[in-house]
Amino acid sequence: MNANLHQNLPVAAAPALTQLFAAQHQLSRREVDVPLALRQDRLRRVARLWQDHQARLAEAVNADFGLRGERLTQVADGLVLAGLLADLRRHLPRWSRPRRVRTPLHLQPAHAFIARQPLGVVGVIGPWNYPLQLTLGPAATALAAGNRVLLKPSEHTPRTSALLAELVARHFAPDEFAVVTGGVDVAVAFADLPFDHLFFTGSTAVGRQVAAAAARHLTPVTLELGGKSPCIVDASCADLAGAALKIAHGKLLNGGQTCIAPDYLLLPRGREAAFADAYRRAVARLFPHLAGNPDYAAIVNARQHERLRVLVAEARALGARVEDASPSDWVAPASGPAARQMAPLLVWDAPPAARLMQDEIFGPVLPVLAYDRLEDAIAHINARPRPLALYWFGDDAAARQRVLQGTVSGGVTVNDTLMHIAHDGLPFGGVGDSGLGAYHGETGFLRFTHQKSVFVQSRWGMGHLLYPPYGARFERVMGLIRRLL
């Protein structure tokens, strides 16, 4: 690792990154057993950090995005985070207990159990799109499992990252939980540390780089990535207006900058005009006005805004039809906080060669593809990398089952969008290009836990009957064991 990286390393009230890691690592080896009371206390401190500073945190997020209202942050970040923290605190005593394991007859009267222990030091690299939920959520889960945590939030939300560093330092000792801020060079140095587990949320391309860096230390990783999550409207969907409203909400929440947003829509051929009308009315209901509306987030920065503009322009040049679905009175502002707000667009018949149909969109642009048979829609999905999420709207249970059984995705919401992430009992994560590993609930707790096998031999144990020298007695014992198995 290049030592020069640490000369300009901005760490709030903390020493250099390697020293921070070393302090956490040493204590994790010295204080292996982390009492339940201390874990619960750390969770309470994370909850207080959020509860006591919601307004300041939302203000920092708003400043980073240019426009993202406090209420939007309460829903988009706070609701899932609060639910996750409550679920951790409620179930932690049960999850932390050793698990008794049935002992096979031929090994009795010994007994066995699984001890659940902290891994040690967990690194968390967070994204910019939900800079509170997707940083504090994994960090809190790792703390619940008894680990120490280093968090690297995104450089694309610098005000939020700086405030997180300040607040975490106020509530935690740096050898418990600390935040490291900085740019790409810091992230590279961070990923190169020999963590006991490294948790990353971001793009598939960067996820590959993080996995490669972690592999040098055999560090296990959780990769929460993205991809092109499909949404299917089935021919049996009678309430097209209701479906359009839920699709619009899932697509446009946070200005479309959501890893599990519907990335493209598969629609029965012949329903295009009806859906376009329903979608426009849904947008108008959700956002009666767009310009300056804090409920409709701006694109996070000029680079991302330009990327989206280029994707749409390229699709149009390749023959796609682009339709503005925004309220009729909306005019794109030329400057000010709302300058990076982007109109919600429907894109019809974009060719497969268009990057809009290959790259994750991460914006308020919804390509729509018509299909003739449900099997065609399933085949389209299966011909592409496995998505993080899949959405299905309809009333035919048999058709729904064909989609559920015939496709593989990280998660599914039926007759709605996004909602599976809010269910604390459901694991959240991707598969293939959309991610590796899952968290939330007990799945998340176990993700950051070492399950140690413990076998306790009885004084009456008969294992010596299998010791050499092997002869007639050994054959009799083995014959008995074979009958018992």
Burial 43-72 (b: 16+ CB within 10 A, else e): bebbbebbeebbeebbbbbbbbbbbbbbeb
Q: Which two tokens mark 152?
A: 């690297």
Q: Where are the domains of the chain?
A: 3-225+438-450, 230-429
Catalytic residue among 231, 259, 360, 442: 259
> Among this protein's residues, is 259 annotated catalytic?
yes
Residues 281 and 343: their CA atoms lie apart, in Å, by: 14
Cα separation, 157 vs 67, in Å, equals 13
The CATH homologous superfamily of the domain defined by 230-429: Aldehyde Dehydrogenase; Chain A, domain 2 (3.40.309.10)
Residue 224 annotated in active site: yes
Taken in order 97, 102, 103, 108, is the CA torsion positive or negative? positive
pLDDT tens string, the chain, 485 residues long: the values are: 333 333 333 333 334 899 999 999 999 999 999 999 999 999 999 999 999 999 999 999 999 999 999 999 999 999 999 999 999 999 999 999 999 999 998 899 999 999 999 999 999 999 999 999 999 999 999 999 999 999 999 999 999 999 999 999 999 999 999 999 999 999 999 999 999 999 999 999 999 999 999 999 999 999 999 999 999 999 999 999 999 999 999 999 999 999 999 999 999 999 999 999 999 999 999 999 888 999 999 999 999 999 999 999 999 999 999 999 998 666 767 777 778 999 999 999 999 999 999 999 999 999 999 999 999 999 999 999 999 999 999 999 999 999 999 999 999 999 999 999 999 999 999 999 999 999 999 999 999 999 999 999 999 988 888 899 998 888 888 898 888 88
Whole-model pTM: value is 0.93
Q: Which CATH class is domain 3-225+438-450?
A: alpha beta
Among 224, 237, 360, 442, the active-site one is 224
